[in-house]
Amino acid sequence: MKPLHVATIIHGYFPRVGGAETQLRALVPHLREQGIEMTILTRRYDLELPAYQIIDESAVYRLPATGHKVVASLSFTIAAFFRLLRLRPQLVHAHEFISPATVALLGERFLSIPMVVTSHRSGEIGDVQKMKRKLTGPIRLKALKKRVSKFVVISDEISDELIGIGVDEDRLINITNGVDTERFSPPSIGEKLARREQLGFSPDAQIAIFTGRLVPEKRLDLLISVWEKLRETNPNAELLILGAGAEEEHLKAMAGEGVHFMGSTNDVLPFLQMADIFVLPSIAEGLSVALLEAMSCELTPLLTDVGGAREVVHHQENGWIIPPDDGEALLKGLLALFGDEKMLVERGQAARQRVISTFSIQIAAKKLANLYFDLAKRQ
């Protein structure tokens, strides 16, 4: 049987690290098993990276996106559209509403290619609101509402927002993010202690971890300010921050004892397997892939009540949920979790079971493949 050719358009891709990028790369091999041939069109942020590369047996085209924001967006949109003309895929899937969705609109209009669009965040910094603030945004938003074959939504909050701007409910399909639960698995006690020893941490350390981009909406400044207070009663508390971003130098300047910047890495697994708690103090999220990876490793999550948080975590059953921008609640959650080792272990185990039952990468890939084949068959 001939594979179904899908072109996926996304702002960034490996080795760039982010939730959408990580999720797409995890999906690619599972979609191939379902008979989907993926081609990825992305921006060439780093000119040292090749313009064309095979990653995980899939073609990746890194297209020009340099200069001022508007110029970069325009150059990428044009280059991606002409690449679509050469590729002639059977379906196009755009991640986010700005330039990727505009390319998909052009493909649908001039090549009659069915288009799927995924919105990754809601709220003020989400796709809909960002589009509304663009000069031509309302026009493009109207076109998307009319011409998108299916909107993939990863949380109820995003679904509600799309319905609120007039998208028909029958054009939405809920396909949550997923994680490879076999790879992201809990370590044995010996493995956990060995990983700590390798990086110079005490076996008795209370370790929390954040993985992701170091950007303002993650509110890591609040977490770091709370950490100083936590260390007054929990001197063994250690915070690992994995990732890079615009806030890095500022955060390093304000960090005190017990805060460790581990840099950006292509493999977060060894760090997750040495920690106890996963902390996500964001003011905006879709459905965090980093959260799912941590829960799959039996880390108890402490996160803010934004995005798809309550679709994954049940407060005090498999994690701890707090209001956003609430330092007192953040400190209280950390003290409660670190203060009861038995509870911490039990909630970590419940967190992994939640991911296995509902958020595995195999489930997400199967749903996505079924959607692709259904739309291609209609076309």
DSSP 337-371: HHT-HHHHHHHHHHHHHHHHHH-BHHHHHHHHHHH
The pLDDT of residue 129 is above 90: no
User: What's the pLDDT at 132?
Assistant: 87
134, burial (CB in 10 Å: exposed 0-12, middle 13-18, buried 19+): middle
Q: Which of 333, 351, 318, 327 is nearest to 234 (CA)?
A: 333
User: What's the pLDDT at 100?
Assistant: 94
SS3 64: coil
Q: Which of 290, 284, 207 is nearest to 20 (CA)?
A: 290
Residue 131: band (very low, low, confident or very high) from pLDDT cuts 50, 70, 90? confident
Helices 361-378, 19-33: crossing angle, 10 deg rounding: 70
Q: Give residue for tokens 């001039």.
A: 110
Give the residue, 165 or 266, on which the prediction is more confident: 165
Q: Which of 340, 299, 326 is nearest to 208 (CA)?
A: 299
Q: Mean of the pLDDT values across residues 224-233?
A: 96
Half-sphere exposure of 327 (CA within 13 A, CB side): 12
Q: Mean of the pLDDT values across residues 231-249?
A: 95
State the Cα–Cα distance between residues 319 and 254, nearest whole angstrom: 28
User: What's the pLDDT at 44?
Assistant: 94
State the Cα–Cα distance between residues 340 and 251, nearest whole angstrom: 29
Kindly report whether the peptide bond that precedes residue 15 is cis, defined as omega within 30 degrees of 0: yes
DSSP state of 187: P
Residue 229 host element (H or E)? helix 220-233
pLDDT digits (tens, 9 = 90+) for 293-345: 999 999 999 999 998 899 999 999 999 999 999 999 999 999 999 999 999 99
The pLDDT of residue 379 is above 80: no
223: left (phi over 0), alpha (psi -120 to 50) or beta: alpha
Which regions of the chain does DSSP assign to beta strands (E)?
A: 4-9, 36-43, 52-55, 58-63, 91-95, 115-119, 150-153, 172-174, 206-211, 237-242, 259-263, 277-280, 300-304, 320-322
User: What's the pLDDT at 329?
Assistant: 97
Residue 188: band (very low, low, confident or very high) from pLDDT cuts 50, 70, 90? very high
Query: Which phi and psi angles does 362 have, rounded to 5°?
Result: -65, -40
Give the residue, 124 or 34, on which the prediction is more confident: 34
Reported for 199-202, long-range contacts at CB under 8 A and 24+ positions apart, including other chains, are 199/274, 201/238, 201/274, 202/236
User: What's the pLDDT at 184?
Assistant: 96
The pLDDT of residue 240 is above 90: yes
Q: Which of 136, 56, 52 is nearest to 99 (CA)?
A: 136
User: What's the pLDDT at 372?
Assistant: 97
Q: Could you report how far apart the first and last alpha carbons of the chain are, in Å?
A: 18
Average predicted confidence (pLDDT) for the chain:
94
The pLDDT of residue 172 is above 90: yes
User: Mind listing the domains of the chain with CATH numbers?
Assistant: 4-178+360-378 (3.40.50.2000), 189-358 (3.40.50.2000)
User: What's the pLDDT at 19?
Assistant: 84
pLDDT digits (tens, 9 = 90+) for 350-371: 999 999 999 999 999 999 999 9
Give the residue, 326 or 22, on which the prediction is more confident: 326
pLDDT digits (tens, 9 = 90+) for 59-88: 999 999 888 888 889 999 999 999 999 999
